[in-house]
Structure 1
Amino acid sequence: MVRYAEPGTVEWVESGGGPLIAVPETVLPFWTGADGEETASDYDRACEVDGLVGLLPVGDATALVLGDEPAATAFLPEHGTLVRCVAAHSEAEVLASVPEALHTAQWQPEVQWKVPGELVLFDAAWPGARSTGTDHVRLALAPGRYAVRAAHVQPGPETWLVLVQFRPLT
């Protein structure tokens, strides 16, 4: 993705072509990525997720798979939202469109996710133990239960995004 905004404004993560996955840091060693020795690797399980988001068990926790299509993804903590850029002219255009896109999004049914603490978002093909040595982003979510909802949005004529929003549940 071409970056025009202030350098360091946001960190983006991309995959090599498959889904991204947000794994709780406490269970990173249990995610084997494409290196699994079974018939279906963890990566294969992630690829089977149908839709924009899905949950997969990892160790004694659950990971969030970002399905649909590979897209550069950034976490905007001020909105509690992952922004996935499907198409846009610039990073500045993407970031400027987020507030209105959140307001007008037609959200898909949400899933409930128990988050034990900090998460690492990375290409699902990588083993969790090596994920921080690759393209990754840390998501600092407070431990607790979240409603996770996702939507395709088109905030501009040539801007397409997928939004994945985390809403704390009480």
Structure 2
Amino acid sequence: MEWVESGGGPLVAVPETVLPFWAGADSEDLATDYDRACEVDGYVGLLPVGDSTALVLGDEPASTSFLPDHGTFVRWSAANSEEELLAQVPAALDGAVWENEIRWQVPGPVVLFDSAWPGGEAEGGDHLRVPLEPGTYAVRAAYTRPGPETWLGLVQLRRLQP
């Protein structure tokens, strides 16, 4: 599995079509895109980018991957191994206490990366391309402890019918 790491700030999933508009921490503006991402309160939030919207994965800067079979970003907080963490995902999804859903409109695939980086640099660094279909997604998040030594965050995407 591919895992995306952060240098300490939030991760962000930006639609490929607007990657060049994400400036990260490199901006002349008083409030950079990275600053805006850091202001997101809670596990997830949305920020405008170009003519689209990015999904910010807030809270802690945990290693994150995407499980397409579950439509879920998995955030590794604690586990002895990747295998142990992945084995706990079904139980975590079943027992999760979800926050309120938000709606996220995407034009197609998104790229997950450290919000401090400019979007144009995400292609060559620590990033993960998530092949989402264009449309509106219900996004919900939870933090779970499915095992005594396994803690993980979940950000689940469910495509809504047009």
From 110, 113, 135, the equivalent of 2:104 is: 113
Structure 1 vs Structure 2 CA RMSD: 0.5
Q: Residue 62 in 1 paired to residue 57 in 2? A: no
Q: 2:75 aligns to what SS in structure 1? A: strand
Counterparts of 2:91 and 2:145 in 1: how far apart (Å)?
A: 10
Gaps of 5+ in 1: 1-9
Q: Does 1:102 align with 2:93?
A: yes
Which AA in structure 2 matches 1:132?
A: E
Secondary structure of 2:123 counterpart: helix
Which one-letter code corresponds to 1:141 in the other structure? Answer: L
CA distance in 2, matches of 1:62, 1:101: 28
Alignment partner of 1:100: what SS? helix
Q: TM-score of the superposition, structure 1-length normalised?
A: 0.94
- Deviation string, structure 1 residues 71-127 (Cα, Å, up to 9, x no partner): 000100000000000111100011000011101100000100001100000000000
Moved over 2 A (4+): none
- Is 1:41 paired with 2:41? no
Identical amino acids, percent of aligned pairs: 70
User: Could you tell me which residue of structure 2 aligns to residue 76 of structure 1?
Assistant: 67
User: Structure 2, unaligned stretches of length 5 or more?
Assistant: none
Return the TM-score normalized by structure 2.
Answer: 0.98
Counterpart in 1 of 2:5?
14
**1:12 aligned partner, one-letter code:** W
How many residue pairs match? The answer is 161
Determine the C-alpha separation between the residues in 2 that align with 1:64 and 1:168.
15
| Pair 1:159-2:124 in alignment | no
Deviation at 1:11, TM superposition (A): 0.8
Match of 1:135 in 2: 126
Instruction: Determine the C-alpha separation between the residues in 2 that align with 1:130 and 1:53.
Output: 23
Give, in angstroms, the shift of residue 133 of structure 1. Answer: 1.2
Q: CA deviation at 1:141?
A: 0.9
Provide the secondary structure at the position in 1 that maps to 2:87: helix
Partner of 1:5: none
1:150 pairs with 137, 141, 158, which one? 141
